[in-house]
Structure 1
Amino acid sequence: MTTETISGAQATDTLSGAFIGGRWVAGRGGHFEVRSPHKGPVHTVSRCNAEDVAEAVSAAKQAQPKWAATSVVERVEVLNRYHQLILEHAEEIAQMVTLETGKTINETREELWEYTAPAYQRAAEEILRFKGQTFPSTQERTNNKRLVLNHRPIGVVAVIAPYNFPTDISSIAIAHALAAGNTVVWKPSEYAPRSCAMVAELAEQAGVPAGVLNVIQGLGDAGAALVESDDVDGIFFTGSTATGMKIAERAGLKKLLLELGGDGPQIVLADADVDAAVAGAITGSFYLAGQVCTSAERILVHQDIYDEFVEKFESAIRKLNIGDPHDPATDMGPLCNETTLHRVRNHVADAVSRGARAIQHGPEEGLFYPATMLLDVPLDADIMKHETFGPVIPVIKIHNAQEAIDIANSSGLGLVASLWTKDLATAWRVAEALPHGAVNINESNNFWDQLAPFGGAGKSGVGRELATNFFDTFMEPKLLVFDLGDGVRGGRRTSNAW
């Protein structure tokens, strides 16, 4: 194709570069290679530097006032078209997510059909229901004041997304930001750049104006430049606690919505349905090879049912089909990258060196790591204090609910906990004692609802996403105070003003 200069950047092929001001352009930072966890190198993507980031932010800032002035109905129509377009292209995008990240094809189809596409429809519905308030005047003995609270978009929102749900988590943020009248600069994960570019490519066809959605591709330096930009007004980030803390340090007074790491306690009490708890543990521990912030990170089982649980859990683990992520029969694929694999191996080695026993099923080659249950793990092992984010789960024997609460509360994280018991009072008391943003009763850690508040406490994040909760962060409350000035005092008319 013929290249042309666009504000200093060169035009490039669709999907291989950045999307700035409605055009696909080559980044100034060279290229980076994308490697499939299962198939090796698959493509290269143009890498953005700080100049590209500044250009994308500038395009978003210039486009924002006009987009905010667009009627809510028009924005809703755009989002609904975006929803339909993603559904139409869901299979090809899902195949790309599997290629780039190693997620099983069943997991990526679920991501596209159940989460990514509907995010735009849900955001459209939610903005139609997002209401203001009126307040009585309480400072003066007058009926002249009218106090009205409404909301305005904050401006430019940076969306920095992880690799485990590359199109879903991004789309939640993008859809709600656009619904509110903000514009977006999106930095996808470097492990899934083309999957995300395929979603962004549909924006123009959906009717998203140039500059309203921009995409920069790159590594950590691009994300840092986006966080530090004076023209970015809010930041949505999902990822590790360590990176989230760095963002918080650098963000200044920007609005933040940070969804960070989890410690995933699954507590199984003596009266639990053991078979159901085992099924929940399989989903909680090995869905997406454990690379989910909500995953079960330790299972705390009452001593009365511990042996039964371990026996049945091991049997269920050995039934997992671990292999080619493109095969619909596969239950668990490889890990996404070497960094994750290195951490998983280190956590297992540390636990074993302290006396733990590993029970494993599946290959350990390339980026594949076996589904692993650890027994006899001491509480001071690394895996009991830090998120593993992989297919490894310690199973700990407990004596009572209070012991489980103490262990569950020891990490400083608090995203999602899971509790298994048949007793309503116990469920209520234990759930109240856990600091987590959500406690799933008789349900896997890896359960969430797209219209319920989602987020964590402590080191697991700041704020809540999904539904109108997103608007609470990325819309600014604005109070309008009217003095009617028409001579009414204490309910009595003192002039002929009306």
Structure 2
Amino acid sequence: MHTQILSKKMLVGGKWIAGEKTFEVRNPQDNALIARVPAASKEQMKEAIEAAERTYRSTKVWPVHERMTILNKVAQYMRDHAEDFAEIIAREGSKTINEARGEVKRAAQTIQISAEEARRINGETINFDQNEGSENRVGYFYRFPVGVVGAITPFNDPLNMVAHKIGPAIASGNAVVLKPASVTPLSAIKLAEAFMEAGLPEGFLSVVTGSGRELGDTLVTHPAVQMISFTGGSSAGEKITEKAGAKKVCMELGSNSPVIVLKDADLHDAVQSTVSGAFAAVGQNCLGVQRIYVERSIYPQFLTTFINRTTELRIGDKMDEWTDVGPLITEKEAKRVEEWVNEAVSKGAIVKAGGYREGAFYAPTVLTNVSEDAKIAKEEIFGPVVLIYPIDSLYEAVERSNDVNYGLQAGIFTNDINQAFYAIKNMNVGGIMINDSSDYRIDAMPFGGTKGSGVGREGIKYAIEAMTEAKVVSFRLQENLL
């Protein structure tokens, strides 16, 4: 079957433009050319930022009901074109068609929730008379948009992660300039089309495609950009923090997520959940299960059951509805995963399942006896590999879970509420899931981590708080009229 090669434009200041240069978007499964997309210049990024600033400053009033109407129209557009969105996600990225359909559903909900939260951007009254001498003052604070938000998104959720940046920004009245991942720009372009179709005023959204090395510094350092919202790797996040200066920054930087399974847990449920948590989206998930600590008395049974379930997963064509696991985003990434596994094996790790690569495909892999000084034990693998360890106590499991420079989310399987609350109190993470794996999330909840996992929280309501500022208003009343 011949696949049409698309020629796409990028959105700059509300105008669809082609670039003098282009880059190729390829299907990681077979390296087939999908599309040619503009490779923007620094000047075009600057143009998008300045258009966003002009639009924001010239819009005297942008009523909440208008923002809500646009967001609701976008959400409906996404639902009406759900299969088109899903096919784009599956072809340009790593997700299977079923996983892509799930992402479209979530992304539409993200935009819908953004519309709903727009009506709830409220302030509070302030009791100024709590301070002696301020008995004749009354007032409040309200929230107003920061202005221009610069957003940078990764490849692994090429639609929903973009929705998590654009939705709250528009809901709170900001203009937003988005730089999507170069390997998966088509989903972001498609979402931009939905916003323009819904009647978003020109200039409030730009989607600028191209190299992060070429465009990133301009977006991060431009004085008109008041906030940076970034999702990606920790090293890139650290560089952004250094360059952004006094700007507001919200960053989600990944994890090495632990799950604890205690002897009183429902073993079948724990296996099903952690297999899914480890290997969904080929393990390219910041919440993906990477380390599992299993109480020693049930460790042999858990390990055997986990291996059996893992070997049942079907590897193959992303567009086949029976496929469970597709390719990594590039063959280079698959080779990196292979190298990390080989390094762990050289230090004594045992491969219980998987452990082999074919092109960009890497088989779902189970490792035991992994040394604590192996790279895969400390860093984020971002691939279909899980480490399973026996532990003698919950205390040990918590201590070992915390012994990495990440703290995004964790999971624990137990029917003992006291054990659960010990983990809740002592695990250094941004979220802990009880009787769920670490990768459970709804888009409305606060989402973010501790340590090297990032700064701030996403989730629509919480992103809106980050994308707005509190302004205090105080009235001093005439005492003779009181």
TM-score normalized with structure 1 length: 0.93
Q: In the alignment, which of 34, 41, 49 is matched to residue 57 of structure 1?
A: 49
Query: Which residue does 1:483 correspond to in 2?
Result: 476
Indicate whether 1:126 and 2:117 are aligned.
Answer: yes
Asked if structure 2 preserves the Cα contact closer than 8 Å seen for 1:147 and 1:480, the reply is yes
C-alpha distance in structure 2 between counterparts of 1:68 and 1:276, whole Å? 54
Asked if structure 1 preserves the Cα contact closer than 8 Å seen for 2:55 and 2:203, the reply is yes
- 1:177-211 deviation line (CA, Å, top 9, x unaligned): 00101000011111111221111112221010100
Query: Which residue does 2:156 correspond to in 1?
Result: 164
User: In the TM superposition, what are the counterparts of 1:367-382 in structure 2 within 5 Å?
Assistant: 367-382=360-375
C-alpha distance in structure 1 between counterparts of 2:426 and 2:315, whole Å? 37
Q: In the alignment, which of 257, 281, 292 is matched to residue 285 of structure 2?
A: 292
Indicate whether 1:90 and 2:82 are aligned.
Answer: yes
C-alpha distance in structure 2 between counterparts of 1:87 and 1:443, whole Å? 28
Q: Which moves more between the two structures, 386-395 or 126-135?
A: 126-135
Query: Which residue does 2:28 correspond to in 1?
Result: 37
Asked if structure 2 preserves the Cα contact closer than 8 Å seen for 1:15 and 1:197, the reply is no
C-alpha distance in structure 1 between counterparts of 2:317 and 2:217, whole Å? 35
3-state SS, counterpart of residue 38 of structure 1: coil
- 1:82-112 deviation line (CA, Å, top 9, x unaligned): 1111111121111011111121001110001
Asked if structure 2 preserves the Cα contact closer than 8 Å seen for 1:80 and 1:120, the reply is yes
C-alpha distance in structure 1 between counterparts of 2:59 and 2:388, whole Å? 52
Query: Which residue does 2:423 correspond to in 1?
Result: 430
C-alpha distance in structure 1 between counterparts of 2:451 and 2:53, whole Å? 33
C-alpha distance in structure 2 between counterparts of 1:278 and 1:296, whole Å? 11
3-state SS, counterpart of residue 460 of structure 2: coil
- 1:205-264 deviation line (CA, Å, top 9, x unaligned): 101010001010011221222111111110111111111111111111111110111111
3-state SS, counterpart of residue 84 of structure 1: helix
Larger of the two Rg values belongs to structure: 1
Asked if structure 2 preserves the Cα contact closer than 8 Å seen for 1:419 and 1:431, the reply is no
Q: In the alignment, which of 459, 464, 467 is matched to residue 466 of structure 1?
A: 459
Indicate whether 1:385 and 2:385 are aligned.
Answer: no
Give the superposition deviation at 1:66.
4.3
Query: Which residue does 2:217 correspond to in 1?
Result: 224
Give the superposition deviation at 1:143.
3.9
Q: In the alignment, which of 236, 239, 262 is matched to residue 229 of structure 2?
A: 236
Query: Which residue does 2:14 correspond to in 1?
Result: 22
Letter in 2 for 1:157: V
Give the superposition deviation at 1:142.
5.0
Give the superposition deviation at 1:53.
0.6
C-alpha distance in structure 1 between counterparts of 2:311 and 2:23, whole Å? 38
Q: In the alignment, which of 430, 453, 458 is matched to residue 446 of structure 2?
A: 453
C-alpha distance in structure 2 between counterparts of 1:15 and 1:435, whole Å? 46
Q: In the alignment, which of 165, 172, 179 is matched to residue 173 of structure 1?
A: 165
C-alpha distance in structure 1 between counterparts of 2:94 and 2:443, whole Å? 24
Q: In the alignment, which of 175, 184, 189 is matched to residue 192 of structure 1?
A: 184
Give the superposition deviation at 1:290.
0.3
Indicate whether 1:255 and 2:248 are aligned.
Answer: yes
Indicate whether 1:327 and 2:320 are aligned.
Answer: yes
C-alpha distance in structure 2 between counterparts of 1:210 and 1:142, whole Å? 45
C-alpha distance in structure 1 between counterparts of 2:273 and 2:174, whole Å? 39
C-alpha distance in structure 2 between counterparts of 1:187 and 1:464, whole Å? 20
3-state SS, counterpart of residue 300 of structure 1: strand
Q: Which moves more between the two structures, 272-281 or 34-43?
A: 34-43
C-alpha distance in structure 2 between counterparts of 1:31 and 1:432, whole Å? 51
C-alpha distance in structure 1 between counterparts of 2:126 and 2:35, whole Å? 57
Give the superposition deviation at 1:119.
1.5
- 1:93-149 deviation line (CA, Å, top 9, x unaligned): 110111111210011100011x11121210111121222101112334454211211
C-alpha distance in structure 1 between counterparts of 2:230 and 2:26, whole Å? 23
Asked if structure 2 preserves the Cα contact closer than 8 Å seen for 1:67 and 1:182, the reply is no
Give the superposition deviation at 1:266.
0.9
Give the superposition deviation at 1:487.
2.1
TM-score normalized with structure 2 length: 0.96
C-alpha distance in structure 2 between counterparts of 1:94 and 1:67, whole Å? 35
C-alpha distance in structure 2 between counterparts of 1:179 and 1:422, whole Å? 40
3-state SS, counterpart of residue 8 of structure 2: coil
Distance 1:480 1:37, change over 3 A: same
Letter in 1 for 2:347: R
Distance 1:67 1:86, change over 3 A: farther
User: In the TM superposition, what are the counterparts of 1:392-407 in structure 2 within 5 Å?
Assistant: 392-407=385-400
Letter in 1 for 2:187: S
Letter in 2 for 1:127: A
Asked if structure 2 preserves the Cα contact closer than 8 Å seen for 1:15 and 1:194, the reply is no
For structure 1, the residue ranges without an aligned partner over 5 or more in a row are 1-12, 494-498
C-alpha distance in structure 2 between counterparts of 1:234 and 1:420, whole Å? 38
CA RMSD after TM alignment? 1.6
Asked if structure 2 preserves the Cα contact closer than 8 Å seen for 1:67 and 1:181, the reply is no
Give the superposition deviation at 1:32.
1.4
Query: Which residue does 1:9 correspond to in 2?
Result: none
Percent identity over the alignment? 37
C-alpha distance in structure 2 between counterparts of 1:271 and 1:77, whole Å? 50
Give the superposition deviation at 1:55.
0.2
Corresponding residue pairs, total: 475
- 1:143-170 deviation line (CA, Å, top 9, x unaligned): 4211211011000001111111011011
Asked if structure 1 preserves the Cα contact closer than 8 Å seen for 2:7 and 2:36, the reply is no
Asked if structure 1 preserves the Cα contact closer than 8 Å seen for 2:171 and 2:464, the reply is no
Give the superposition deviation at 1:362.
8.8
Letter in 2 for 1:194: L
C-alpha distance in structure 1 between counterparts of 2:253 and 2:153, whole Å? 11
C-alpha distance in structure 1 between counterparts of 2:241 and 2:133, whole Å? 45
Distance 1:269 1:67, change over 3 A: farther
User: In the TM superposition, what are the counterparts of 1:136-175 in structure 2 within 5 Å?
Assistant: 136-137=127-128, 138-141=130-133, 143-175=135-167
C-alpha distance in structure 1 between counterparts of 2:363 and 2:335, whole Å? 13
C-alpha distance in structure 1 between counterparts of 2:155 and 2:179, whole Å? 11
Indicate whether 1:77 and 2:84 are aligned.
Answer: no
Asked if structure 1 preserves the Cα contact closer than 8 Å seen for 2:167 and 2:460, the reply is no
Query: Which residue does 2:96 correspond to in 1?
Result: 104
